[in-house]
Copies of this chain bind each other. A is one copy, B any other.
């Protein structure tokens, strides 16, 4: 790769004049790879759509689609290792071989932007955030000081300001970080610092037992955070929830009082807006009242549900969020900003975040710089290098406007509502679905007070998590009892296996708080339509009808 040249300068056997890389060849490789990514990933994210504009062509499209574009090309680990040849060797490989590798990696990767990927709380392809992400990778910034990341620091400031506005705070502070779990850690540590600033220097040794409260439906990062921060998982008090998965305020108050009596030190309540499995929203106003009475920090984990704030119709789900002291909100979920895009937001404007987290590294945060060093926000972070995650959300927001983002949220929730309840506009396919797609066998779990299965009155789901069992033919006439539940528990994993091997669809399942395995369907992407909801029901039935 090193062109021979006159005046070669050698030190320690290394040629030092001129670059060692062949830039022209490298650039060509990037261009070729970009073409491949465009064709194999970006264009295929909506491939099926092109042929699927009318309902009448649905079945034909379904067949051709299965042949052409799978959500995943399943291979078991050992086989995939052989196929990919992952080993790293002494010698490098030529560009054409690397391009084949790129193709293989795309081929065997799960297409998370495929319209039938419903497996996680993220999905789809947003063209605008994607461009911002490509720019990020090409520019390779690290966001800690204004001198190195002038644009991205200002972008972060602008995005945080707007998110703070949507929470309903007059002012605030915040930082983008790598995940809702990390945001929750930020909150826990900040609440602890506020409770007792000495902990930063002295640590927890010798202090009374700190205790925090969250709902029994909270994200598992609560336990991880408590463990990581030296608080201990036993000092996370899980407050009971109601039938829909919402924290019961009276239970919270009781548990706080108990802890106080026991001599523990309550310092924090973590409410959840949009629980991971059921999509439940805790009653924030009532929880805020309790926090005020007991002088507790209120953190709202709105990693999943925060996006509802963008919708005038649905933001009532987070009624009272402006009373929180801090909020976690991940635009990489329903707002599709790309993994990861997670904001930790704080109501305090007295520099609490900076006082809590700063370490004043003199090689990075010099105080004798020639510009206003209050723009060097990196010392608020637990990280040193940090990616400009706010930028991808900013780009999508600029492109779509608040109204476009609102429309996405409204659409995802309307589609979820259609899936769960068949609320189709007159002239739609409601009756057809009931006849052909056996919707009756999909029982919503979003209300937990189910007595039997069929015909129970159920509340509307609040958010985009539609949890249901598929009851296969062999169980339809069986009486409810331990045997029934044991058998039903095996159904979702078996269908999931068939689904993965076929590659037609991906959605998740789980057991949850005494309930046997059920599916969780999540709609996010604006590339998903009513037709995909039909497909989902149809396909599960197809995969499970011999069970």
Q: Given A137-B130, A148-B119, does the pair A154, B375 have CB atoms closer than 8 Å?
A: no
Residues of B within 8 A of A417 (CB): 11-12
Question: A486: CB under 8 A from chain B?
Answer: no
Q: Given A76-B371, A138-B42, A411-B16, does the pair A229, B232 have CB atoms closer than 8 Å?
A: no
B340 adjacent to A128 (CB under 8 Å): no
Question: A424: CB under 8 A from chain B?
Answer: yes
A20 adjacent to B179 (CB under 8 Å): no
Complex: A138 Cα to B89 Cα, angstroms: 27
Question: A313: CB under 8 A from chain B?
Answer: yes
Q: Given A21-B527, A93-B399, A201-B234, does the pair A496, B407 have CB atoms closer than 8 Å?
A: no
Q: Chain A 507-547 against B: per-residue CB contact (8 Å), 1 yes, 0 no?
A: 01111100001001000001111110000000000000000
Q: Chain A 167-211 against B: per-residue CB contact (8 Å), 1 yes, 0 no?
A: 000000000001111100100010010000001111111111110
A:447-505 near B, CB below 8 Å: 490, 493, 496-497, 500
Complex: A428 Cα to B192 Cα, angstroms: 60
B140 adjacent to A232 (CB under 8 Å): no
Chain B residue at minimum C-beta to C-beta distance from A50: B23
How many chain A residues touch B (CB < 8 A): the figure is 202
Residues of B within 8 A of A401 (CB): 89-93
Q: Given A119-B147, A394-B86, does the pair A11, B424 have CB atoms closer than 8 Å?
A: yes
- Among A87, A92, A133, A137, max chain B CB count under 10 A is at A137
A496 adjacent to B86 (CB under 8 Å): no
- How far does the Cβ of A503 sit from chain B's closest Cβ, in whole Å? 12
Complex: A310 Cα to B7 Cα, angstroms: 28
Residues of B within 8 A of A74 (CB): 150
Chain B interface: which of A28-36, A248-256, A434-442? A28-36
Complex: A508 Cα to B86 Cα, angstroms: 38
Residues of B within 8 A of A531 (CB): 17-18
Chain B residue at minimum C-beta to C-beta distance from A157: B86
Complex: A209 Cα to B230 Cα, angstroms: 12
Question: A354: CB under 8 A from chain B?
Answer: no
A510 adjacent to B366 (CB under 8 Å): yes
Q: Given A9-B425, A98-B398, does the pair A338, B140 have CB atoms closer than 8 Å?
A: yes
Chain B interface: which of A266-274, A290-298, A316-324, A377-385? A377-385
- How far does the Cβ of A40 sit from chain B's closest Cβ, in whole Å? 9
- How far does the Cβ of A53 sit from chain B's closest Cβ, in whole Å? 6
Q: Chain A 225-237 against B: per-residue CB contact (8 Å), 1 yes, 0 no?
A: 0111111111100
27 CB-based A-B contacts, threshold 8 Å: A5-B54, A9-B424, A9-B428, A11-B417, A11-B423, A14-B411, A15-B411, A19-B529, A20-B408, A23-B50, A34-B38, A72-B147, A76-B371, A76-B372, A77-B372, A77-B375, A88-B397, A92-B399, A109-B150, A130-B137, A179-B385, A200-B233, A201-B233, A204-B205, A220-B361, A366-B509, A368-B493
Listed from nearest, the 6 A-B pairs whose CB atoms lie closest are A203-B232, A230-B230, A26-B127, A92-B401, A86-B158, A363-B510
